[in-house]
């Protein structure tokens, strides 16, 4: 199992928490290949990414680089070149992408926590699929220096962990501005109505009712437009970063075809996307002014079987509920639960920009109340 999860074993740093790092994040003296044969000859990184240096400064021990959906451009985690990371807790199901190896490493107890990146759900989706916690911080809050791609308006480095306390510890290690968690007394949760698998909805409805937080409906009618706009932005930005690799002939067939299609994203589509970004950001901010936390499923359905997930374009709907919050830049996390079919369901919580500590405080209190 480890061979498809860990692409390179390492022994770096102190004697503290063990951490694995997605192979889009630079570690000095090691190549960053993003699980792509097209980057097989990538040079060794000359310096650590800021988040890697932060981990080392916190006394963490970095024990490996993890596999991913090639070039971080996919949602299933399938990868024909490195092999697909097995889903340790839900065998036969996709591990989710793109940070598949990092989520699977935590689920397999190979490390205390792991780092991934989230451009359109790439931390929260694999966290949901593998039954672990995963967080996308506020855009720009955690340094991306030394992280691929260099230019992005969507991507965030974020942690995976098997418990909310370890998730908090991970955030404290990688975010120098991370503060003490606030009280959650009187916090109201806005429940965002969505169309999803009835078992997913029933599971999360029961969780929220049992959490004993005050609940209120919080519709976000702009979500579909934001999802589409987010896709336009990620397509253009990924083409800008990786489009030159198509000519190598070394990309997986799914990534090559997606990249070529991404190259057709028009300037007009990008302008429209920015208009939608502004409108949906205002919509989310208004909802958060009424309810400091929003709640909705991480994914609309259970993760697909690996055998059924070869067509990655058909699986892109996995990100329907997560990608919109990359467009806006709000912090969001996924809490693991199980549905009636004993398959993974994620509860996604969203907070105001900069309110990462409140988001984690509510997640911790929700889990605590359910465990009583």
Question: Which residues are known catalytic residues?
Answer: 22, 98, 122
Of residues 242, 239, 254, the one with CA closest to residue 76: 254
Of residues 114, 133, 106, the one with CA closest to residue 51: 114
Tokens representing 86?
């097995």
Q: Show the CA angle centred on residue 168, arms to residues 167 and 169, nearest 5°.
A: 90
The answer to whether 197 and 148 have CB atoms below 8 angstroms apart is: no
Of residues 360, 361, 307, the one with CA closest to residue 332: 360
Write the DSSP assignment of 239-275 as a string of letters: HHHHGGGGGGT-S-HHHHHHHHHHTT--HHHHHHHHH
Please tell me the chain's helix, strand, coil percentages from 3-state DSSP, rounded to the nearest 5.
Answer: 40, 20, 40
CA distances from 277 to 64, 93, 231, 271, 303 (A): 36, 33, 12, 10, 28
Query: How many Cα atoms occupy the beta-carbon half-sphere of 180 within 13 Å?
Result: 2
């Amino acid at each position: 199992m480890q061979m498809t999860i860990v692409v390179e074993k390492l022994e770096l740093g102190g004697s503290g928490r063990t951490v694995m790092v997605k192979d889009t994040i630079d570690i000095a003296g090691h190549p960053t290949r993003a699980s792509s044969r097209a980057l097989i000859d990538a040079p060794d990184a000359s310096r650590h990414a800021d988040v890697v240096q932060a981990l080392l400064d916190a006394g963490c021990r970095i024990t490996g680089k993890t596999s991913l959906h090639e070039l971080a451009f996919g949602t299933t985690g399938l990868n024909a070149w490195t092999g697909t990371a097995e889903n340790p807790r839900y065998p036969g199901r996709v591990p989710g992408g793109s940070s598949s190896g990092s989520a699977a490493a935590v689920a397999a107890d190979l490390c205390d926590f792991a780092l991934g990146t989230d451009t359109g759900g790439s931390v929260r989706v694999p966290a949901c699929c593998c039954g672990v916690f995963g967080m996308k911080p506020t855009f720009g809050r955690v340094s991306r220096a030394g992280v691929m791609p260099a230019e992005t308006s969507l991507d965030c480095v974020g942690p995976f962990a098997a418990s909310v306390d370890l998730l908090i510890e991970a955030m404290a290690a990688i975010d120098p501005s991370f503060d003490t968690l606030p009280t959650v007394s009187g916090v109201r949760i806005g429940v965002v109505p969505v169309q999803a698998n009835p078992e997913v909805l029933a599971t999360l409805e029961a969780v929220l009712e049992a959490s004993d937080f005050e609940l209120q409906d919080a519709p976000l009618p702009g979500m579909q437009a934001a999802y589409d706009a987010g896709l336009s932005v990620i397509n253009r930005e990924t083409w800008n970063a990786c489009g030159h690799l198509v000519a190598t002939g070394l990309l997986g067939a799914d990534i090559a075809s997606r990249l070529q299609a991404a190259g057709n994203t028009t300037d007009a589509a990008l302008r429209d996307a920015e208009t939608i970004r502004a409108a949906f950001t205002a919509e989310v901010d208004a909802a958060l002014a009424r309810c400091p936390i929003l709640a909705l499923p991480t994914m609309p359905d259970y993760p697909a079987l690996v055998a059924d997930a070869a067509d990655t374009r058909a699986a892109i709907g996995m990100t329907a509920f997560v990608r919109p919050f990359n467009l806006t830049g709000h912090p969001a996390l996924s809490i693991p639960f199980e549905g009636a079919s004993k398959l993974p369901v994620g509860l996604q919580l969203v907070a105001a920009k900069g309110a990462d500590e409140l988001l984690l405080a509510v997640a911790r209190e929700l889990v605590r109340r359910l465990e009583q």
